[in-house]
Amino acid sequence: MVVSRLVGRDDDLAADVAQEVWIQIFRALPSWRGDSQFSTWAHRIAVNRTLNALRKTRRLANLETPVEEDSAAVEMDTDRSFIAQSIDDAVAKLSPGARAVFVLHDVEGFTHEEIAEELGITTGGSKSQLFKARAKLRKLLAYLIDTADRDAFAALPSRDDKNVAPAY
């Protein structure tokens, strides 16, 4: 799940990275010392592999010319899946750095210090990226809130770093 959230809209890349993650876990299994839970160890491998794949993809994207697709698929969704898809689409529109920090912090529950170490940025950079990601998501998802609720939503206090957003 963390792989698809970090990758964004590219299902093919997410599938490729997930396969690489499982191969890496299998290969590294003899080196697992048991100092932490297996799930924590495997999660760290998944995050590292995904971030490496995203770096590689960005480098290749700088060399390639983008091709716009003219086709679009429309399907009927229930309210819940519509909201979930809207959130996924909004997260995918974030810059790669902001998306990585948002997913790692608000979805996966990493601290800013852990994120900074993982991404090779400062703690302040992590906080800044998270602030920017949340602000952009508020704008991108504002249409989901009724006008009457929008004022109440804007008046809500910002969440502190100890809270983690529920997975969608």
Q: Determine the pLDDT at residue 161.
A: 44
Full domain range(s) for residue 114: 77-162
**Cα–Cα distance for residue pair 88/91, rounded to 1 Å:** 5
Average pLDDT for consecutive 10-residue bins of the chain (168 residues)?
77 85 86 82 85 75 58 56 84 88 88 88 92 91 69 55 48
Boundary-marking domain end, from 64, 94, 119? 64
Regarding whether 39 and 96 lie in a shared domain, the answer is: no
CA dist., res. 134 & res. 98, Å (int): 9
Cα–Cα distances in Å, from 157 out to 19, 64, 166? 41, 43, 17
Given a contact cutoff of 8 angstroms between Cβ atoms, the answer to whether 100 and 54 are in contact is yes
Domain match, 85 and 53 both:
no
Domain count of the chain?
Answer: 2
Question: What is the CATH number for 141?
Answer: 1.10.10.10
Domain at 9, CATH number: 1.10.1740.10
CA pair distance 118, 58, nearest whole angstrom: 18
Residue 109's pLDDT is 85
Q: Is residue 15 located within the same domain as residue 44?
A: yes
Say what the pLDDT of residue 168 is. Answer: 45
The residue out of 22, 38, 64 marking a domain boundary is 64
Most distant CA atoms of the chain, gap in Å: 57
Q: Is the dihedral of CA 69, 65, 4, 86 positive or negative?
A: negative
pTM: 0.53
